[in-house]
């Protein structure tokens, strides 16, 4: 038995080292990522799952962490990019089984921010030095294409060169195009699970993985910098599902990948399921870093929620983005996708100071520039990459 474990560990080490070398050699000449992913991905993930208690002792974990750090530094240096997050509506027409703001979740106080309130969040963010903003919301039918485009146009007028990222779910190609033309430049839409079977266990019947994937490809084709992603430890998820997630990401080749642990949310049908594993979340971040070397990967708020130094651990496993909340404190608690979310009562400047300290203490460098993906950045952005 011990021998079998050693063999498995040797196979994982060899996989990690191979991918690390592939990643480093793909970086010369701006190749995006090696187009490979053997079937042993699921075995590698199973190994880490099985031995997750040995995170501090097993050479496989340290090799993975080192590889992820090395690749991250080869692409983006020590920089950790800030994105100011504005959660502008918690109305949602969907009912994802995991989500605390799903339409049927009771007791949620619903709110929408006006364009004026969103502009105030942007101004506050600019004062703090941010050049990159994310507008996130539920799938709220109030925000028609006309309303979204008017809002984006107003923001663009006052903030001509800041990154404007949208995260408002599935919409039509025409809608994505109009919002892009109005000035949005990035879009986050986690795929949640790349397995049809697993996706159907997380969502009601009217939500289809095929639509989600089609949206992601539409967004890419239009020219957005696109973010996909998934939760780790969502109910019924297997190692095979996680391997499919990575395979899908390699195929899609997004500019950003959001990965966080599943955290149960009271009032949802998954409220009694266990929280996703910290170690496996870190493993999936690190595998994403070595398989898709140039992606921007946030160290998520969910990671900070399940461990007091979860976000710092995220950096050491290859993450290089933080997304502090810029929403008015008065609505923070109402955007509760899961229980015990951190920073509910902390104003934007407190989170900025807190994150800056955490980034510096972990040996990294806070970066307040737009933080474009390497294939989208130009010299102006590189020059701007200063502290504030
Ligand atoms: N736990 C962790 N993450 C969640 N999300 C939604 N609900 C939860 C939860 N209970 C994530 C989803 C979504 C993103 C905005 O937040 O992956 O895409
Ligand atoms: Fe909000 Fe630490 S990031 S208080």
- Tens of pLDDT, residues 180-214: 999 999 999 999 999 999 999 999 999 999 999 99
How far, in Å, CA of 271 to CA of 273, rounded?
A: 6
How far, in Å, CA of 258 to CA of 192, rounded?
A: 10
The Å distance, Cα 367 to ligand 2 centre, comes to: 17
pLDDT at 299 over 70: yes
The Å distance, Cα 30 to ligand 1 centre, comes to: 32
Atom of ligand 2 nearest to the CA of 324: 3
How far, in Å, CA of 166 to CA of 156, rounded?
A: 13
Name, in order, each residue with C-beta under 8 angstroms of 169's C-beta and a sequence gap of 6 or more.
94, 138, 139, 189
State residue 381's pLDDT score: 44
pLDDT digits (tens, 9 = 90+) for 135-155: 999 999 999 999 999 999 999
Mutate which of 308, 350, 357 to test ligand 2's pocket (most atoms within 8 Å of Cβ)? 350
Please state, in angstroms and as integers, the Cα–Cα distance from residue 288 to each residue in 16, 165, 192, 243, following that order.
12, 21, 15, 11
pTM, two decimals, is 0.95
- Which residue minimizes the CA distance to atom 1 of ligand 2? 351
pLDDT digits (tens, 9 = 90+) for 214-259: 999 999 999 999 999 999 999 999 999 999 999 999 999 999 999 9
State residue 146's pLDDT score: 98
State residue 380's pLDDT score: 40
- Which residue minimizes the CA distance to atom 3 of ligand 2? 351
| Angle of the 278-291 helix axis to the 41-50 helix axis, nearest 10 | 150
| pLDDT tier at 386, thresholds 50, 70, 90 | very low
Atom of ligand 1 nearest to the CA of 99: 7
- Which residue minimizes the CA distance to atom 7 of ligand 1? 99
In this structure, what token pair is assigned to residue 97? 């089984």
| pLDDT tier at 31, thresholds 50, 70, 90 | low
Residues in the ligand 1 pocket, defined by CB under 6 Å = 98-99, 190, 192, 231, 260, 262-263, 265, 302, 337-338
């Amino acid at each position: 038995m011990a021998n079998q474990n050693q063999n498995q560990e040797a196979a994982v080490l060899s996989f990690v080292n191979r991918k690390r070398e592939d990643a480093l050699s793909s970086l010369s000449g701006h190749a995006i990522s090696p187009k490979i992913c053997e079937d042993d991905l699921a075995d590698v993930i199973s190994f880490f799952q099985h031995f997750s208690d040995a995170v501090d002792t097993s050479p496989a974990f340290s090799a993975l962490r080192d590889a992820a750090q090395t690749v991250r530094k080869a692409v983006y240096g020590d920089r950790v990019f800030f994105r100011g997050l504005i959660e502008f509506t918690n109305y949602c027409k969907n009912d994802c089984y995991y989500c605390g703001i799903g339409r049927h979740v009771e007791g949620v106080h619903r709110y929408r921010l006006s364009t004026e309130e969103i502009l105030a969040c942007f101004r506050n963010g600019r004062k703090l030095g941010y050049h990159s903003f994310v507008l996130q919301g539920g799938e709220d039918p109030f925000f028609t294409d006309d309303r979204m485009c008017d809002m984006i146009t107003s923001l663009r007028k006052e903030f001509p060169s800041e990154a404007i990222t949208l995260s408002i779910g599935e919409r039509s190609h025409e809608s994505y195009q109009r919002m892009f033309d109005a000035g949005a430049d990035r879009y986050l839409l986690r795929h949640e699970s790349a397995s049809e079977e697993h996706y159907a266990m997380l969502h009601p019947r009217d939500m289809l993985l095929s639509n989600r994937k089609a949206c992601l490809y539409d967004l890419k084709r239009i020219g957005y910098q696109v973010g996909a992603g998934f939760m780790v430890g969502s109910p019924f998820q297997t190692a095979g599902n996680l391997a499919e997630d990575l395979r899908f990401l390699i195929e899609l080749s997004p500019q950003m990948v959001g990965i966080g642990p599943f955290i149960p949310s009271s009032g949802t049908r998954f409220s009694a399921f266990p929280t996703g594993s910290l170690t496996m979340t870190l493993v999936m971040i690190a595998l994403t870093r070595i398989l898709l070397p140039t992606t921007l990967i946030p160290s998520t708020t969910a990671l900070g929620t399940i461990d007091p130094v979860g976000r710092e651990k995220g950096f050491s496993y290859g993450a290089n983005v933080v997304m502090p909340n810029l929403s008015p404190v008065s609505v923070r608690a109402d955007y509760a996708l899961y229980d015990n979310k951190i920073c509910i009562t902390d104003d934007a400047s407190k989170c900025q100071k807190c994150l800056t300290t955490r980034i510096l203490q972990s040996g990294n460098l806070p970066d307040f520039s737009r933080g474009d993906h390497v294939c989208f950045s130009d010299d102006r952005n590189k020059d701007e990459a200063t502290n504030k």
